[in-house]
Structures are given as structure tokens and as C-alpha cells.
């Protein structure tokens, strides 16, 4: 989200809560505020279109947000029992989706002021035909969802692989450009940028898996859509769980003085982190361009530290903005960062960096995989089970960012680091820690743990931010004074 979009969204949320309190001033239940569900639903659905950046392929920046909503409805149909899919109850949400898509499609007939909408809808007739086809698919899916759950899991994972693989994304770009009658010479993977899909996929997969295990609470279509595309967290997280989100959605915190002050505090901190600190650090942060301009080895360290701090302030800044905006709306999203660079080992770092992603992968990958290995592969030693689990978990997190060699190495870098650190910590607790009794000694151990952890993470960012192995090895050589 850009700064004008953030401020516009925050002001709209605050204005709504103030107006709702004025209309229903004596209501003891904030969930009964005037038009609460309608506002959150409308704002979140329209934001899916509003936040989507412009794409060079004709009409794609309209169809991708539309597919976001279609996938969400299909997943709702897959996880919702037939008796809970009442047309009478869910018709307003379906009509709202149709209205949002048509409203966006009709903007192709008018010239909006600059900055109001970045996407360019296709010709109106094409939009209407496409929406009619998608509507038919939704109708049939809602009527009969016996196999829809498994189908949607496969579709979400397949789309994820397509988007995160540069080769596949470029192939899709070429195909779509050809279908649209456009020149394919400039086709690239970034032509197929689907805003928010990474976070959307994890939210939807969570509901599908929890439905399979019988742990998912039921939700109306409007509630499910608000959860999946909640506009403060749609593009940058955090990754919430449906059951936790529904509690706040149905019983929101009242907008009193303390809640308003905390929301404003988080917003201001987030804006400062992102637009003052992170954007300034970007000037001296490691990236493919700056890595090729270094004239003295010491500058590699400046660039590395700059990137380590920039990515933290950028990401945690967006999280603070999302948390502040959601608090205005009575919803307390989970925290995503808790001083990760101040931790003294790699396990603590990952327990405090992008915490919702870490918790998601732990719950839906690490725990099931290690449990399966212990039960079905009893011949494997506990150490090997732990190594497989940690390498696989961090590899999955690396692939979540992109299916490239460098992201794979970054994931394995952290998986191996976690395994070694855990083994060392177990050994140190038995041999070193009991012998260190002075405050000075404990402080020295803590400082050493912090120093090693921070630099291990920082070196890992080299793999993360550079596009290929050769560039990364060149930077490592510069950092170590080799050439």
C-alpha cells in the first residue's frame, strides 16, 4: 500500500467507527454498530481491486482481483456444510461481490482522476461475459461441494507454484500476451503479479485443512470474505486464523479513548518505520544494483547491515500499520514481530520474526511431518527426524518467497542453522552454562549468542535479496575480503 492509500484507508475506517457510534450511541454491543458487517465487507472487497497494481497485460489487473474473490467463495463453499450455505443468509454477500465486480468493470467507460484506480478493466462486454462464466462456476460449486475441498487445495497449491516460479510465471505471461494480441518480447515473471495471493493462499489453506480435521468454525460468506481479504492485512499480513478472527469480528473491542490512542500510536510508528527509516535505508541497502557498484570491500558490510535493517523496518512497519488500522475497526490482529534482532539464538529469532508465518508452517507442516516420521519411520533417529523437519520447514518458507535457487539456499541455510543451534544449545546447557556463575560471564555468553545470531541471519539475507548464486558468492567474497 502506498502512503496515500494507507492514509485514505485509515481515515475511512476511523470515520466509519465515529459515524457508527453517532448513529447507535447507546448500543452496549459494538457488533451491533450500524452497518458494521456491510462496511467491512464492502471496504475489503473493493480494496482487492483498489490495491491491485497496474499490469502490462490487458485486463489482467482486473481478472486477478476477481479471481481472488472467486477462489475465496469456492473455498467457503468447500468448508461450509450444506445446511450452513443458506441462499437467504448469504445472498447479500453474493450480490455485493457482483456489484463490486460490475462497478469496477464499468469504470472502463469513464475517466477517473489520476491515482483513484490503477487497474484498467477490459472492454465492458468482455467483462460481463467473463463474470457470467465465473458466476455459473460459483453457482454450481455452492450447490454441490462433495469434492471441492480437495480440488481447492490442489488449485491453491498449483497457483502458488505457478506464481512463485519465474520460469512458469514468464511462460504464463507469454501465453496471456499472445492471447491479448500483445508483443511477447518484453514478457517477464513480474507481468503476473497477483497482489496478496501469498497471504490469501495461506489463509484459505488453513481453513481447508482445519475443515478436514473438523476444527473449523462455521462462518457466513460475508464473514469468511472479510477474514480472507481483510483490507488492513490483505497485502502484507499478518496471517490470522479464522477462529480467532471471528471472535473479534463478532465481538469487536469498543472504540474508546485508549483503543483510539493505541491505534494511532501503531499507525504513526508503522509510517515512521516504513517511509522514514526503511525507505532511507534502501539507499544504502544491498540489492543487485548496489552490489555491482562497490569500490571498497568495507562497503559490502555497509550494504549488508543496511539491508538487514531495511527489510526489518519495512516489513514490521507495514505490520504496525495493519495492526493500527485494524484496531480502529475493533479487530486485534496477531503480532508479527517482537524484537527479532535482539535474540540470542536462531530459534528465538524465528519465534519472533514473521511470527504468524512461522506458527502457520509449524502447525501445518513441521508438526505433522515430524509426527508422521516418528510413527511410520520408527527406524529413523530422533536427530534425523528433527533435521528433516527443520530443513523441510525452512525450505518451505524459502519457497513461499519464490521458487529460485537462492531462496532454496536461504531456506536450507536457516534449516541447517536451526539444527546446529539446537544441538549446540542442548550441549551448552549441560557443559557450559552450569559453569558460568558470574553476571559478567552470563552477559558475555548472551552477547556472543546475539552477535553470532545476528550475523548468521544477516549473511542469509545475501541469498535472499540477490537473484543468483554468482552474485551472492561475489558479495560473500567481498565481505570476507576475497577479491
181-206 per-position pLDDT tens digit: 888 888 888 888 899 999 999 999 99
Asked whether residue 435 is domain-assigned, the answer is yes
* Residue predicted with more confidence, 432 or 339: 339
353 shares its domain with 238: no
Asked if residue 2 is part of any domain, the answer here is no
Q: Which of 188, 222, 250 is the last residue of a domain?
A: 250
Q: Is 438 left (phi over 0), alpha (psi -120 to 50) or beta?
A: beta
Compute the average pLDDT of residues 419-442: 88
Instruction: Looking at the structure, tell me whether residues 121 and 243 fall in a common domain.
Output: yes
CB burial class (10 A; 0-12, 13-18, 19+) of residue 257?
Answer: exposed
C-alpha separations of 169 from 21, 62, 178, 316, 469 in Å = 47, 18, 14, 28, 21
Regarding predicted confidence, which is higher, 478 or 27?
A: 478
Indicate the number of domains in the chain. 2
Domain annotation covers residue 447? yes
Q: Which residues of 274-313 are buried (b: 16+ CB within 10 A; e: fewer)?
A: bbebbeebbeebbeeebbeebeeeebbeebbbbbbbbbbb
Within a domain: residue 192?
yes
- The answer to whether residues 239 and 351 belong to one domain is no
What does the H/E/C string look like for the chain? CCHHHHHHHHHHHHHHHHHHHHHCCCCCCHHHCCCHHHHHHHHHHHHHHHHCCCCCCCCHHHHHHHHHHHHHHHHHHHHCCHHHCCHHHHHHHHHHHHHHHHHHHHHHHCCCCCCCCCCCCCCHHHHHHHHHHHHHHHHHHHHCCCCHHHHHHHHHHHHHHHHHCHHHHHHHHHHHHHHCCCCCCCCCHHHHCCCCHHHHHHHHHHHHHHHHCCCCCCCCHHHHHHHHHCCCCCCCCCCCCHHHHHHHHHCCCCCCHHHHHHHHHHHHHHHHHHHHHHHHHHHHCCCHHHHCCCCCCHHHHHHHHHHHHHHHHHHHHHHHHHHHHHHHCCCCCCCCCCCHHHCCCHHHHHCCCCHHHHHHHHHHHHHHHHHHHHHHCCCCCHHHHHHHHHHHHHHHHHHHHCCCHHHHHHHHHHHHHHHHHHHHHHHHHHHCHHHCCCHHHHHHHHHHHHHHHHHHHHHHHHHHHCCCHHHHHHHHHHHCCCC
**Would you give the distance in Å from CA 357 to the centre of its chain?**
8
74 and 217 fall within a common domain: yes
Residue 10 lies in a domain: no
pLDDT 10s digits, 50-78 = 999 888 888 888 999 999 999 999 999 99
Q: What is the mean predicted confidence (pLDDT) over 297-320?
A: 95
| pLDDT classification of 17: cutoffs 50, 70, 90 | confident
Q: Are residues 243 and 349 in the same domain?
A: no
Dig out the grid coordinates for 99 from the structure. Answer: 456489484
Q: Tally Cβ neighbours within 10 Å of residue 143.
A: 11
15 found inside a domain: no
- Per-residue pLDDT tens over the stretch 194-253: 999 999 999 999 999 999 988 899 999 999 999 999 999 998 889 999 999 999 999 888
What per-residue confidence (pLDDT) applies to 73?
Answer: 94
Alpha-carbon separation of residue 129 from 11, 136, 354 (angstroms): 36, 11, 41
Q: Is residue 155 part of a domain?
A: yes
208 with 74: CB under 8 angstroms?
Answer: no
Q: Specify whether 140 is located in the same domain as 239.
A: yes
Is the pLDDT reported for residue 27 higher than 60? no
CB 52 within 8 A of CB 120: no
* pTM, 2 dp: 0.92
Quick one: 76 and 207 in the same domain? Answer: yes
Range(s) of the domain holding residue 364: 341-479
Domain boundary among 191, 224, 250: 250
pLDDT at 113: 65
- Rg of the chain over Cα atoms, rounded to whole angstroms, equals 24
The pLDDT of residue 209 is 94
293 in a domain, yes or no? no
- Confidence band (pLDDT; 50, 70, 90) for 316? very high
132-146, 223-237, 349-363, 365-379, range with the lowest pLDDT: 132-146
**Degrees (nearest 5) of the Cα angle 195, 197, 201?**
165
Q: Are residues 245 and 346 in the same domain?
A: no
Same domain, yes or no: 94 and 219: yes
Regarding whether 57 and 156 lie in a shared domain, the answer is: yes
Rounded mean pLDDT, 424-452: 88
pLDDT digits (tens, 9 = 90+) for 142-161: 776 778 899 999 999 999 99
Is 34 a residue whose pLDDT tops 80? Answer: no
Compute φ and ψ for 218, nearest 5 degrees. Answer: -80, 150
To the nearest whole number, what is the mean pLDDT of the chain? 90
One domain for residues 38 and 163:
yes
Amino acid at each position: 500500500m502506498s502512503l496515500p492509500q494507507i492514509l485514505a484507508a485509515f481515515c475511512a475506517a476511523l470515520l466509519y467507527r465515529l459515524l457508527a457510534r453517532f448513529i447507535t450511541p447507546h448500543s452496549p454491543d459494538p457488533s451491533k454498530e450500524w452497518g458494521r458487517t456491510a462496511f467491512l465487507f464492502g471496504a475489503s472487497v473493493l480494496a482487492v481491486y483498489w490495491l491491485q497494481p497496474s499490469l502490462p497485460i490487458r485486463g489482467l489487473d482486473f481478472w486477478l482481483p476477481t479471481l481472488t474473490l472467486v477462489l475465496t467463495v469456492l473455498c467457503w463453499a468447500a468448508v461450509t456444510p450444506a445446511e450452513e450455505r443458506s441462499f437467504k443468509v448469504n445472498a447479500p454477500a453474493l450480490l455485493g461481490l457482483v456489484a463490486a465486480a460490475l462497478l469496477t468493470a464499468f469504470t472502463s467507460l469513464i475517466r477517473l482522476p489520476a491515482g483513484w484506480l490503477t487497474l484498467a478493466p477490459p472492454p465492458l462486454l468482455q467483462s460481463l461475459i467473463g463474470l457470467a462464466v465465473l458466476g455459473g462456476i460459483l453457482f454450481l460449486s455452492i450447490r454441490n461441494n462433495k469434492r471441492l475441498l480437495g480440488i481447492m487445495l490442489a488449485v491453491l497449491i498449483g497457483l502458488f507454484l505457478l506464481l512463485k516460479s519465474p520460469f512458469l510465471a514468464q511462460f504464463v505471461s507469454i501465453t496471456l500476451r499472445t492471447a491479448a494480441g500483445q508483443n511477447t518480447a518484453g514478457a517477464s515473471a513480474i507481468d503476473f503479479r497477483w497482489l496478496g495471493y501469498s497471504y490469501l493462499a495461506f489463509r484459505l489453506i488453513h481453513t481447508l485443512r482445519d475443515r478436514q480435521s473438523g476444527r473449523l468454525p462455521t462462518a457466513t460468506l460475508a464473514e469468511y470474505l472479510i477474514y480472507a481479504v481483510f483490507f488492513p492485512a490483505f497485502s502484507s499480513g499478518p496471517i490470522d486464523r479464522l477462529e480467532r478472527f471471528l471472535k473479534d469480528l463478532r465481538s469487536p473491542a469498543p472504540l474508546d479513548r485508549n483503543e483510539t490512542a493505541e491505534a494511532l500510536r501503531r499507525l504513526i510508528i508503522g509510517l515512521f518505520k516504513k517511509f522514514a527509516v526503511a525507505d532511507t535505508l534502501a539507499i544504502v541497502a544491498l540489492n543487485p544494483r548496489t552490489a555491482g557498484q562497490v569500490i571498497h570491500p568495507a562497503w559490502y558490510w555497509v550494504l549488508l547491515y543496511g539491508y538487514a535493517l531495511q527489510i526489518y523496518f519495512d516489513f514490521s512497519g507495514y505490520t504496525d500499520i495493519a495492526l493500527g488500522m485494524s484496531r480502529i475497526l475493533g479487530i486485534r490482529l496477531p503480532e508479527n514481530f517482537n524484537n527479532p534482532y535482539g535474540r540470542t539464538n536462531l530459534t528465538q529469532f524465528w519465534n519472533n520474526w514473521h511470527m504468524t508465518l512461522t506458527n502457520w508452517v509449524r502447525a501445518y507442516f513441521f508438526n505433522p511431518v515430524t509426527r508422521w516420521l516418528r510413527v511410520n519411520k520408527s527406524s529413523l533417529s530422533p536427530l534425523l527426524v528433527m533435521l528433516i523437519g527443520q530443513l523441510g520447514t525452512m525450505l518451505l518458507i524459502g519457497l513461499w518467497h519464490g521458487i529460485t535457487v537462492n531462496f532454496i539456499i536461504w531456506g536450507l541455510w536457516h534449516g541447517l542453522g536451526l539444527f546446529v543451534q539446537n544441538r549446540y544449545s542442548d550441549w551448552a546447557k549441560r557443559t557450559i552454562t552450569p559453569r558460568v556463575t558470574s553476571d559478567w560471564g552470563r552477559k558475555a555468553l548472551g552477547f556472543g549468542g546475539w552477535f553470532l545470531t545476528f550475523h548468521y541471519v544477516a549473511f542469509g539475507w545475501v541469498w535472499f535479496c540477490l537473484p543468483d548464486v554468482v552474485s551472492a558468492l561475489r558479495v560473500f567474497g567481498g565481505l570476507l575480503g576475497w577479491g
